[in-house]
């Protein structure tokens, strides 16, 4: 089956705002994991979609959240606000887009893994358990339903492209699809999300640039070996050069390939045109609305 047919099997849910309660928030250095009680988003979301999250915790709505004990705002707000010391109340103005790592509709929970890269994510990193945060989601188009494809599904995650593959792996495993994950990073330290992928039960091939975890090499080295076997479909998320390399290999082998594209986003729902990606054949697509998951041949990445 070609990617264009599988495109029909991508899911785009109705998105809405939701107040999510922080259940757990921790991490190692700049890599953080945030687990939220957000039952509506958890019920609607599918692997490959994302949420927009505001870095400032909500204050007066803390006691309105649908479950668990709300921590008094007096306890939860100062930590996050300290990270924004001196900033006006509307700063940061925008929510931050983060891919869904784990989706547990039965528990009403979602988890996100993100990297602290600026003021917004630094402020977010200080939001403690018990706080209530403003969410928008689930946004964007998912990977295609694994039941729509044929043959072995290969999930490829590079760096911060690994966390979304946990939700993808869970979906594939629950669908009974034969699947394997290839996860790669510069070093073992940057394999955030690999544990969550492995916990789904999917076979995992780990590669690192320096050999500090798994095999030394690139994800495409592992993919090259798998392509000689019977690969039915590839889903990839990670740095753009990695996506380009995966796209080229799949095109050469005639394998349907879906890539999750990262772009700066403001609104997250198609209004600002800040997230465009060139469309093969001309024009542009909105990463937030037409993607972030695209059939690889539909978009121009890295000039090809
Ligand atoms: Fe605004 Fe995509 S983020 S249109």
- At residue 261's C-alpha, the angle toward residues 111 and 224, to 5°, is 100
C-alpha 219/C-alpha 216 separation (Å) is 10
Ligand 1 lining (C-beta closer than 6 Å): 265-268, 270-275, 286, 288
Phi-psi region of 218 (alpha: psi -120 to 50; beta: other; left: phi over 0): beta
Q: In testing the pocket of ligand 1, which one of 277, 288, 291 has its CB within 8 Å of the most ligand atoms?
A: 288
CA-270 nearest atom, ligand 1: 4
Burial, 74: exposed, middle or buried (Cβ in 10 Å; 0-12, 13-18, 19+)?
exposed
- Structure tokens given for 250: 């799949």
Minimum-distance ligand 1 atom for the alpha carbon of 267: 1
Report d(CA 75, CA 99) in Å as an integer.
28
Task: Return the ligand 1 atom nearest residue 287 CA.
Answer: 2
pLDDT of amino acid 293: 98
pLDDT confidence of residue 115: 94
Please report how the helices 240-253 and 219-227 are oriented relative to each other, as an axis angle in degrees rounded to 10.
10
Q: For 267, phi and psi rounded to 5 degrees?
A: -80, -45
CA of 197 to the centre of ligand 1 (A): 29
Regions of the chain short of the pLDDT cut 70: 1-2, 59-93, 228-229
Would you state the structure tokens that stand for residue 11, as one six-digit string?
Answer: 């899911």
C-alpha 287 to ligand 1 mean position (Å):
7
Under DSSP, the state recorded for 141 is B
CA of 281 to the centre of ligand 1 (A): 21
167 CA → ligand 1 middle, Å: 23
pTM for the whole thing? 0.89
Distance from the alpha carbon of residue 7 to the mean position of ligand 1, in angstroms: 20
Query: Mutate which of 137, 266, 284 to test ligand 1's pocket (most atoms within 8 Å of Cβ)?
Result: 266
Give residue 79's pLDDT: 53
Q: Would you state the pLDDT for residue 89? A: 60
What is the per-residue pLDDT across 82-140, written as a single tens digit (0 to 9) for each? Answer: 565 666 565 666 889 999 999 999 999 999 999 998 888 999 999 999 999 999 999 99
């Amino acid at each position: 089956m070609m990617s264009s047919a599988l495109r029909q099997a991508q899911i785009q849910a109705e998105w809405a705002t939701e107040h999510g309660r922080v259940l757990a928030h921790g991490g190692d250095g700049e890599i953080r994991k945030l687990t939220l009680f957000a039952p509506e988003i958890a019920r609607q979301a599918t692997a490959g979609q994302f949420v927009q999250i505001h870095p400032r915790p909500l204050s007066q709505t803390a006691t309105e959240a649908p479950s668990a004990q709300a921590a008094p705002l007096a306890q939860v707000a100062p930590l996050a606000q300290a990270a924004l010391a001196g900033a006006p109340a509307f700063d940061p103005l925008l929510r931050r887009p983060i891919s869904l790592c784990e989706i547990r509709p039965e528990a009403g929970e979602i988890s996100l893994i993100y990297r602290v890269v600026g003021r917004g994510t630094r402020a977010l990193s200080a939001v403690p358990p018990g706080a209530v945060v403003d969410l928008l989601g689930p946004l964007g188009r998912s990977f295609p339903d694994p039941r729509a494809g044929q043959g072995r599904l290969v999930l490829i995650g590079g760096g911060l492209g690994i966390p979304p593959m946990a939700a993808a792996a869970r979906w594939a495993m629950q669908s009974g699809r034969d699947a394997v994950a290839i996860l790669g990073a510069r070093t073992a330290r940057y394999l955030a999300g690999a544990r969550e992928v492995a916990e789904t039960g999917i076979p995992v091939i780990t590669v690192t640039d320096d050999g500090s975890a798994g095999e030394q090499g690139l994800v495409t080295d592992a993919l090259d070996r798998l392509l000689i076997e019977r690969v039915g479909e590839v889903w990839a998320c990670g740095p753009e050069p990695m996506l380009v390399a995966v796209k080229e290999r799949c095109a050469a082998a005639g394998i349907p390939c879906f890539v999750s594209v990262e772009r700066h986003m403001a609104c997250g729902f198609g209004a600002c045109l800040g997230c465009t990606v060139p469309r093969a054949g001309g024009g542009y697509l909105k990463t937030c609305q037409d993607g972030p998951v695209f059939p690889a041949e539909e978009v121009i990445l890295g000039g090809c």
